[in-house]
Amino acid sequence: MTNKSSMTKRGIALITVLWISVLLSLIAASFTKTSRTEINLARNLVENARAEALADAAVNRAIMGLFNRPAQGGFRVDGTVYRWHFGGGDILFRIEDEGGKVDVNTASRQFLRKIFNALEVRPKISRGLAAAILDYRDFDHDPESGGAEDRDYKQANLLQGAKDSPFELVEELQQVLGMTPKIYARLKPLVTVYSGQNVPFGPVADPLLQDLLKNNEGFVEDDGDDEDVRDDEEDGAQNDQDGAILLTDEDPQPLSDEGTDARSSVNIFTIYAEARTESGGVFARKAVLRVGARRRRGAQIFAWTPAPLTLFPAYDAALAELDPE
């Protein structure tokens, strides 16, 4: 009887020990998984921080390249994509001349209508949007024919009315009565609030705008920046007698030889830079800035914000088409 009771107690103890062992194993596994997750999160944060630093480095490299013409070692400003291997990462960036875009604060109603028509917006909606943009930016409360002032916004159950002052950001176009997300997405790359020109500078404009200018308006009279953009001797730049910078294989290289070296006289540019580290960190930066003719004048920053990834997805898709395997 005693032996049977003792065996029973030993059996219970064994089962208890086994359950405790299982429980401790589960706790250890959970702790290990949590630790790995935290380590991976920390690693991702570090890699993304590295990617952000590389993207910012690319923006600054692009700025330096804007002080010279392409023939002098500078960069094209027509949206040409450049690739750069730097700091253990892969970088893509492009520069857009804001003078090649349509300024929504100065463009005529007629030209805005032509843009909407070219974007395949229905004629009635094109007329209304063009008029509504003028009403949104002007200082009066008198609606353009087919346009929209405060009472029209109120009738549409919108809290805000017409701004009655110039656009400060392109994103404000989303608040214009009649603007849809689809139309805005197609319009956004074509417009600016920085150039102050009635018509964009054709040579660096989007192909759609170039077609409009050639067929309807003629290119804007703009001979580009006439100031000498060579490095200032006071900066101690080591240039040759033509002011050129000799590029090496380690410098950014264009992905295409096609493009124009033209540049408008606006001297305001948007730079998109995307960086990807070897461990998978990614970051995209958008900067809008004015560049002086000489380095000692520096750059005036208007915007410095994160941006959605667009360059690497397009680049990877192009590579996949060339080598499907």
Last residue of a domain, one of 136, 159, 194: 194
- Indicate whether 20 belongs to any domain: no
- The CATH number for 165's domain is 1.10.40.60
- Indicate whether 222 belongs to any domain: no
Which helix or strand (DSSP H or E) is residue 135 part of? helix 123-137
Pairing verdict, β 191-192 and 299-306: unpaired
Q: Could you tell me which of 195, 216, 226, 188 has the C-alpha nearest to residue 100?
A: 195
Write the pLDDT tens digit of every residue in 14-67: 777 777 777 777 777 776 766 666 666 667 788 999 999 999 999 999 999 998
Residues 129 and 75 in one domain: no
Please, what is the average pLDDT of the chain? 84
How far from each other are the two terminal CA atoms of the chain, in whole angstroms? 75
Residues 68 and 142 in one domain: no
- Indicate whether 13 belongs to any domain: no
- Indicate whether 226 belongs to any domain: no
Tokens 């580290």: give the residue: 277
Write the pLDDT tens digit of every residue in 72-84: 889 999 999 999 9
For the chain, where are the E strands, in sequence order?
78-86, 89-97, 102-103, 191-192, 253-254, 268-277, 282-291, 299-306
Token pair of 16 as six digits: 């208890």
User: Is 50 exceeded by the pLDDT of residue 213?
Assistant: yes
- Indicate whether 298 belongs to any domain: yes
Residues 185 and 106 in one domain: yes
Per the CB < 8 A criterion, the answer to whether 270 and 95 are in contact is: yes
- Produce one character per residue of 173-191: b if its CB has 16 or more CB atoms within 10 Å, e if not: beebbbbeeebeebbeebb
Residues 266 and 299 in one domain: yes
Nearest-5° Cα angle at 28, 25 to 31: 150
- Indicate whether 180 belongs to any domain: yes
Domain range enclosing 284: 44-100+240-322
Last residue of a domain, one of 173, 194, 215: 194
Residues 245 and 281 in one domain: yes
Band of pLDDT at residue 159, cut at 50, 70 and 90: confident
User: Is 80 exceeded by the pLDDT of residue 5?
Assistant: no
- Indicate whether 8 belongs to any domain: no
Total domains, the chain: 2
State pTM to two decimals.
Answer: 0.78
